[in-house]
Amino acid sequence: MLKEILKNKDLCKIRTITSFLTLSKEKREWEDAIIKAATFGGDLANEFHAHGYHVQSVRLVTNAFGEYLDTSSFHAVLKDMHYLQDVLKSPSMPNIRIRFAIGEAKTPDEIALLPEMIKAYGDICNACVNIDVDELGMVDRELTLCCAKSVVELGRITPRGEGNFNFTINYNCKSHIPYFPASYHNSHDENCFALGLESPDLLVEALKSLKPETDHNVKMHKSYGIMKDALQYHITDIISIVNAYEHPYKTKFAGIDTSAAPSKNCSSMVDVYKLLGVPYFGASGTLEASALLTKVFKAQKGCDLVGFSGLMLAVVEDEGLADATTRDEFDIRALLQYSAVCGIGLDTVPIEGNTSAQKIADICCDTGTLAFRLNKPLTVRLFPVPHLKAGDMTQFESDDLCNSVVLRVP
């Protein structure tokens, strides 16, 4: 029987309601499609609020931007982005903040456009690139290097290199990830929506509710059980709300990304590791605990699991992880090692500002190799920070980012 305190809906927030839609070259159709998707997301958020669940964001994701934006030149694509921005500011839009992703870039030319697009349009220009492998399982290095060059350029031309927050390189990632910027939609798929959760507070409270246990394996089994059951309780409740909700613009429900998805406004995943008996994130035992946590997220039932549905270790989105860098408790090699049993890869990792595109491509290919060999989704989102070396402290000003020590790419 689940303890009443773990049924508290404040412990399990809905990080995002993300709708996926297809846009075409007919710009006159954009406003209607976007308003319908945004209206549905906003109204569903209100429905969740009425049932006691806090919704943090409503997001829209399109098909690959080259299928609807004019990418023939930098001037042309910026003109279309300006039009898109006007649509999102239309008086007909619901009175909520909408976060927007333009889908994936598919060609080297489109990838090369992204730095200036993101610099100019920031929060409505979240984008990703999906990298494949050949018949030997070798990652497409040419396309990866194109991405790495854009990462370097974003670090150079955006304040404090923060533009890389809006760009990620995907390996073995399926469509309909609700979290940005790895999210994308295929135009041949029907429009749909997915949910993402923020549950570190719930995991911490679940582990605190357990009685002390000296036997390690017994402790881990009990920890797994209480976290799984607590998360399942809220997921079942959330699914029932979705299934009962009627709306003229409701699309297919794709599923839930069960990842904990920590932010600056909740408990750190570091707190979860400590409650599992790991002295600090990065100590011996971190890999074992990571595998256990991943099992919790994968064990959820009642709907399709989309996106990562695993353990997210976003370095500068998690206060505890960011703080741990100041004590040199983990490095990029450790993060890559932990990615073997969890997600999300190398996420929001600040690196030296003078790191070369070739070096970034190398670590990307290592990550991609893990993703395809282990048949799991992984991403790379690195932040080369101008003028900073390994060991220096970042000075990010974004509300979404914590400051941490710059790490060295090995």
Encode pLDDT of 338-381 as tens digits: 999 987 899 999 999 999 999 999 999 999 999 999 999 999 99
Residues of the chain with CATH 3.20.70.20: 13-171
Which helix (H) or strand (E) element contains residue 115?
A: helix 108-121
Q: In this predicted structure, what is the pLDDT of residue 185?
A: 98
Q: What distance in Å separates the CA atoms of residue 114 and residue 295, rounded to the nearest whole number?
A: 36
Is pLDDT of 123 > 80?
A: yes
Nearest to 33 by CA among 61, 56, 58: 61
Give the model's confidence band at 41: pLDDT under 50 very low, under 70 low, under 90 confident, else very high.
very high
Give the model's confidence band at 154: pLDDT under 50 very low, under 70 low, under 90 confident, else very high.
very high
Q: In this predicted structure, what is the pLDDT of residue 252?
A: 96
Is pLDDT of 274 > 90?
A: yes
Q: In this predicted structure, what is the pLDDT of residue 265?
A: 83
Q: In this predicted structure, what is the pLDDT of residue 261?
A: 84
Cα of first residue to Cα of last residue in the chain, in angstroms, is 48
Q: In this predicted structure, what is the pLDDT of residue 94?
A: 86
Condensed to tens digits (0 to 9), the pLDDT of residues 56-66 reads 999 999 999 99
Q: In this predicted structure, what is the pLDDT of residue 264?
A: 83
Q: In this predicted structure, what is the pLDDT of residue 321?
A: 96
Q: In this predicted structure, what is the pLDDT of residue 344?
A: 81
**Opening angle at CA 224, ends 348 and 55, nearest 5:** 50
Condensed to tens digits (0 to 9), the pLDDT of residues 301-318 reads 999 999 999 999 999 999
Average pLDDT of the residues of the chain = 96
> What percentage of the chain exceeds 90 in pLDDT?
93
Q: What distance in Å separates the CA atoms of residue 140 and residue 138, rounded to the nearest whole number?
A: 6
Please give the average per-residue pLDDT across 165-189, as a whole number: 97
Give domain 13-171's CATH architecture.
Answer: Alpha-Beta Barrel (3.20)
Please give the average per-residue pLDDT across 249-276, as a whole number: 93
Q: What distance in Å separates the CA atoms of residue 189 and residue 91, rounded to the nearest whole number?
A: 29
Look-up of token digits 């004590």: 327
- Please tell me the least confidently modeled range out of 70-74, 126-130, 276-280, 339-343: 339-343
Measured over the CA atoms of residue 229, residue 44, residue 256 and residue 167, the dihedral's sign is negative
Looking at residue 400, its amino acid is: D
Look-up of token digits 């309780």: 233
Q: In this predicted structure, what is the pLDDT of residue 128?
A: 98
Looking at residue 162, its amino acid is: E
Helix (H, G, I), strand (E, B) or coil at 303: coil
What would you measure as the largest C-alpha separation in the chain, in angstroms? 65
Q: In this predicted structure, what is the pLDDT of residue 5?
A: 96
Q: Nearest 5°: phi and psi at 149?
A: -65, -35
Give the model's confidence band at 263: pLDDT under 50 very low, under 70 low, under 90 confident, else very high.
confident
Is pLDDT of 259 > 90?
A: yes
Q: In this predicted structure, what is the pLDDT of residue 222?
A: 97
